Structure 1
């Protein structure tokens, strides 16, 4: 069985990759085919480590070798490229195998049409080389423009199977596709298959955390959420909410741990944002700045040494749940709410509601924090079982077609 796993390089997509590979190993424990791995990753060495941890026999090859030439990221913003996407047709398959592309949340216009195009072009370029194509783990926001809808329609129709992470995206995808265009299935986020994995790096971080005698609560907040998604006056409210949250945590005897979860520029912005908060409000706590250098399994192992995690990002929330600690998710958009609600939470909080009704949300957060209930291990087990069943059904069907 020849499979090429591709995807993008943020931490959430790495968690999806690691979880997908573990799910494949559970579905096919005696698999003997070669899984060829590639990624649009920002840290290729970490992708290699993820693959090694999965126990796959795997060849890691540069993207250019598959496409037969380099991809210019700059060129995707030109009008000629946009026109070529709208008129794009999959060419004659050259590789008799399966492409499994990790669909990320960038296939919408929340972050702008340019980012949507920059992700669609490489995916279409590489998908045209394969006989069968699976878009795994997609979460799709709404599009604002006619051009955006045309691009997404053409993009979605190139896949034999689309696996969607939450029901809200399902309805949006069905509005873009015609009946019979492609097979669409609902799955749980594959990051739930990640297992806490100790290493030398994690032991050092855990040793640092054990220096504190107080129970630790991790905080994952992002600077750009109030800049991109909310009116400018929310900047003050957003910071006020975080300060009040930290103050109440300290009053109850918890030690706040500030965790940036981005790469490069994002991580620098997050660290700057946390330091501004600490300096402006004289807030207590410690900055744990190097967690993004770990694989998702290693992150989950470190997180299990916290009392709880409060996060605006979906994958830190999922990694906390699989590590067995309390996880409180304050999603900034409908996709995050949908993923949390579909797998874990009946009534997940939205960040916008927190900023509008701060007292209600703080009360809810601390009720969750002080409750005696533990992580929903049965929910995780059930979701994993359902995902493995879907993988077995899908791959068996594709293998039959390949034979």
Structure 2
């Protein structure tokens, strides 16, 4: 039996992480493969039943601050050896190790150093390491440390063309395949009450990251005006959709609650309770249209042919938008370039006016796009 280990999995508090694991399992449905996941947050993954599709293992263990203060200021490798000890002890040359990369290499702090260390240890043991589904910016790729790291991987798989082109231009032997989250099946569940009387437009918003926090006020005002347009000019209900819920400070619910408070007296605006990724995909598939910041809210909606305004502020959103809608799409709202408080409302109105055309386009385009995820399976099966 062949074994695939997913690592760098932050936990199902971000349901995109959950969707990637579920999608990868869907690509390898037969019993010839054992897939297990090394998680930073095993308890949260169990809460959303990720252990029901494959074994969960501990990726790292806490290192005491006292230990860090005494020993690790000058030698990070000692810290990493202790921190990733559960994972490092289990490395087996007959297992393929897939980093659930996403845009983690764009995160601040030591993240890139962690994964370079882990990648090196995997390769030293004679096992294959694969950077799976990455989105990386040019400035990150071109740093010496990251370039050395990328060249160590057995394969680097970009999930959108923007990153693939940057990797290729930098001399990295990269592959291109859509994010495996596109393959995750939906799970039928009870629809919220907002679906009982009217069709529903979904809105997803949350805290911004990676130096983009300053744009949240303009983004929120754009959402307010778009929702006001739906309430005043249409018969649709509005469903506010959470996705990331690490803790109170880092939760989409904080922004959603602000929007709900502003419009709750209309009785047309609802907040979705937190769902697992398959149930959320089912609910998203029943929307009329969607406006979303989170890439992994956009992905299940687009996979279900739901016309979607991509309120993108990260490299990955721009890349996926280009691959699905084409460059300079009217359905991409570049968060950093919002020129006024009505930009998203204008794009949503345009989408609704061209609704049938967009719906037909997605039905004709998405199946072929998703079929390219099979390339991930082919790459992993043919590593040398």
1:246/1:283 contact within 8 Å kept: no
Of 190, 198, 201 in structure 1, the residue corresponding to residue 180 of structure 2 is 190
Of 230, 234, 237 in structure 2, the residue corresponding to residue 249 of structure 1 is 230
**Is 1:394 the counterpart of 2:379 in the alignment?**
yes
* Structure 1 residues 264 and 36: alpha-carbon distance in aligned structure 2, compared to 1, 3 A threshold: closer
Residues 15-42 of structure 1, C-alpha deviation per residue, up to 9 Å, x if partnerless?
22211221223xxx4x424333332346
Of 9, 14, 18 in structure 2, the residue corresponding to residue 14 of structure 1 is 18
In 2, Cα distance between the equivalents of 1:127 and 1:16?
A: 24
Deviates more, 1:234-243 or 1:215-224: 234-243
Of 155, 160, 167 in structure 1, the residue corresponding to residue 154 of structure 2 is 160
**Is 1:306 the counterpart of 2:306 in the alignment?**
no
SS of 1:306's equivalent? coil
In 1, Cα distance between the equivalents of 2:76 and 2:265?
A: 48
Correspondences of 1:166-177 after superposition (within 5 Å): 166-174=160-168
Q: TM-score, normalization: structure 2?
A: 0.80
Of 98, 101, 104 in structure 1, the residue corresponding to residue 102 of structure 2 is 104
**Is 1:215 the counterpart of 2:199 in the alignment?**
yes
SS of 1:154's equivalent? helix
In 1, Cα distance between the equivalents of 2:247 and 2:168?
A: 35
In 2, Cα distance between the equivalents of 1:144 and 1:61?
A: 30
2:187/2:279 contact within 8 Å kept: yes
Give, in angstroms, the shift of residue 290 of structure 1: 1.6
Give, in angstroms, the shift of residue 140 of structure 1: 0.8
Correspondences of 1:2-151 after superposition (within 5 Å): 2-8=3-9, 9=11, 10-25=14-29, 29=30, 31-41=31-41, 43-45=44-46, 49-50=49-50, 52-53=52-53, 58-63=54-59, 70=61, 72=63, 78=73, 80-81=75-76, 94-108=92-106, 111-117=107-113, 120-121=116-117, 125=121, 128-129=124-125, 131-143=127-139, 149-151=143-145
In 2, Cα distance between the equivalents of 1:131 and 1:392?
A: 17
SS of 1:34's equivalent? strand
1:194/1:322 contact within 8 Å kept: no
Of 228, 239, 259 in structure 1, the residue corresponding to residue 241 of structure 2 is 259
Residues 131-154 of structure 1, C-alpha deviation per residue, up to 9 Å, x if partnerless?
1121111111244799xx233223
Of 341, 350, 375 in structure 1, the residue corresponding to residue 333 of structure 2 is 350
SS of 2:311's equivalent? strand
SS of 1:7's equivalent? strand
* Structure 1 residues 186 and 157: alpha-carbon distance in aligned structure 2, compared to 1, 3 A threshold: same
1:7/1:13 contact within 8 Å kept: no
**Is 1:332 the counterpart of 2:313 in the alignment?**
yes
In 1, Cα distance between the equivalents of 2:123 and 2:163?
A: 22
The Cα RMSD (Å) is 3.5
